[in-house]
Chain A
Amino acid sequence: GNSVTQMEGPVTLSEEAFLTINCTYTATGYPSLFWYVQYPGEGLQLLLKATKADDKGSNKGFEATYRKETTSFHLEKGSVQVSDSAVYFCALSALIYNQGGKLIFGQGTELSVKP
């Protein structure tokens, strides 16, 4: 079946530190991969996405590369800010026969950035 596994949180970093949040997936076929972010008390927002192998998604200084050989989509940022504190969700979109696309989420990784 289709599934997503993320590194467990919480992750606590100092401002300007380098961030990596690991994400690996299991999927049949060729899914698209996403990172969503949930700020405290809010809904999810799309952070970035990649639709095929070797694609790199990027937004707001965050990057992730779709690695088919390692079935991974790790999220990175060179220098985090306090405002990046949030829960980050890795997800894949699986195309299900007769159901269209369906987002399958990882368990979320909470990031806390201290000044």
Chain B
Amino acid sequence: DTAVSQTPKYLVTQMGNDKSIKCEQNLGHDTMYWYKQDSKKFLKIMFSYNNKELIINETVPNRFSPKSPDKAHLNLHINSLELGDSAVYFCASSQGQGPITDTQYFGPGTRLTVL
């Protein structure tokens, strides 16, 4: 009964390819997020969606395009992959859009390696 799940867990691909990472939450939450964790473990938010509407977009290259088909899913599509995109990508969800006390629940992560 995974609360926030991501697929795939590992993704190895060549530069220039296009790939997608999927995220699903079964918590009934309204808000979902994508974070990037670099090789030094630094975590930074990329996007957040509330009820399928984009709320936060943090100066991410437009090669990254999130898509939310419904409020339980937030997928991340990456075009023309570059070496610097290699990282662990985490999906998260929370009940509300942003009451500052909302707890975010994280998925297990997708390790993307670009060769």
Which of B42-50, B70-78, B79-87 lines the interface with chain A? B42-50
Q: Contact: A46 with B104, CB < 8 Å? A: yes
Q: Is A51 an interface residue (CB 8 A)?
A: yes
Specify which of A32, A43, A102 lies most central, judged by the most chain B CB atoms within 10 Å of its CB. Answer: A43
Q: Contact: B31 with A108, CB < 8 Å? A: no
Contacts of B34 in A (CB 8 A): none
B residues touching A (Cβ–Cβ < 8 Å)? Answer: 4, 31, 40-45, 48, 50, 55-56, 90, 92, 96-109
**Other-chain contact of A101, B42, B97, B106 (Cβ < 8 Å):** B97
Specify which of B4, B42, B100, B102 lies most central, judged by the most chain A CB atoms within 10 Å of its CB. Answer: B100
Contacts of B90 in A (CB 8 A): 43-44
Specify which of B31, B45, B90, B101 lies most central, judged by the most chain A CB atoms within 10 Å of its CB. Answer: B101
**Other-chain contact of B41, A45, A95, A107 (Cβ < 8 Å):** A107
Contacts of B56 in A (CB 8 A): 96, 99-100, 102
Contacts of A43 in B (CB 8 A): 4, 90, 92, 106-109
Contacts of A100 in B (CB 8 A): 31, 48, 50, 55-56, 96-98
Contacts of B48 in A (CB 8 A): 99-100, 102
How many interface residues does chain A have, given as a range?
A: 20 to 34
Closest chain A CB from B10 CB (angstroms): 11
Q: Contact: B108 with A99, CB < 8 Å? A: no
Q: Contact: B101 with A89, CB < 8 Å? A: no
Q: Contact: B100 with A31, CB < 8 Å? A: yes
Contacts of B101 in A (CB 8 A): 32, 49, 51, 93
For the complex, give the distance between the alpha carbons of A80 and B114 in Å: 38
